[in-house]
Amino acid sequence: MKKIVIGSDKSGFTLKEAVKAHLTELGYEVEDCGTQSIDAPKPYYLVAPVLAKKIQSGEYKRGVLICGTGAGMAVVANKYEGVYAVACESVYSAEKCRAINDANIMTMGGWIVAPELGIAMIDKFISTDFTDNLEEWRKDFLKNAKLEVAKIEKGIYNK
């Protein structure tokens, strides 16, 4: 079964619910580690670590975080080694965060992204692999760049 983890704060709750329903319709097992009710919100700085650790451990390959702008969730999630969260506001950015950056978390803003757009973005995020639809020279460059970024990351986390 295909699995994905998702989470939001109060500002992203409506968008998260639309995306979660869509993913479920597509046959995904969706774990929601964020706000479960608009009346009992969890702040972004508590939701993002839970989801990031699930990606970091390998329990999930991809995740979605939603707050007001997507920025706060991305900042917090990116504090975890092996987590690459990118804030997206378009289908194009959702595709390129995977193809170019090999992002394993897409963040979105509930104040910015309408549910219909969020669904189109998640479709592109889950269907795109690293280096998809890129020129051969760019694929080679990005594969090398990924290794160089891993060296930087190793220097930060393995001191």
What is the domain partition of the chain in residue ranges?
Answer: 3-157
Query: What does the pLDDT look like over 64-109, one tens digit per residue?
Result: 999 999 999 999 999 999 999 999 999 999 999 999 999 999 999 9
CATH T-level assignment (fold) for domain 3-157: Ribose 5-phosphate Isomerase B; Chain: A, (3.40.1400)
Query: What does the pLDDT look like over 37-68, one tens digit per residue?
Result: 999 999 999 999 999 999 999 999 999 999 99
Catalytic-residue membership of 67: yes
pLDDT score for 158: 83
3-state secondary structure string across 110-132: CCCCCHHHHHHHHHHHHHCCCCC
Exactly one of 33, 67, 88, 97 is catalytic; which is it? 67
pLDDT score for 157: 87
